[in-house]
Amino acid sequence: MDKPKVAFICIHNSCRSQVAEALGKHLAGDVFESYSAGTETKPHINQDAVRLMKQLHGIDMEKTQHSKTLSEIPPVDVVITMGCNVACPNLPNKHREDWGLEDPTGKDDEVFTAMIRGIETKIKDLSCRIRKRLV
């Protein structure tokens, strides 16, 4: 059986969704495939997120990821929106949920670290639910 494909969606695909894609690959790559995308793109992944992901997880997102639009990812089974407080486009899927994460851009490292730890917890929970076929 193919692993389900999970898309982490945020407006600019430059911070929260990028962190979720990286942590999904790192923590749950054996359970699901991770993708991220946005309705718009930024030229670079948020540098605070890049720096802290290197420090906390040894992951260099700039080496394996880039900001991309929804049309650049394959059809997915699960859509996770990050909590952008805007209407997200409708992507065909079997399951959709919103993680309601506040954008840490422009805030201090403590806020970024809390966001990364929150995503880490949610990735582990999602992985567990997918293993049990609850999603």
Q: Looking at the annotation, which residues are catalytic?
A: 10, 84, 88
Q: Which amino acid is at 110?
A: E
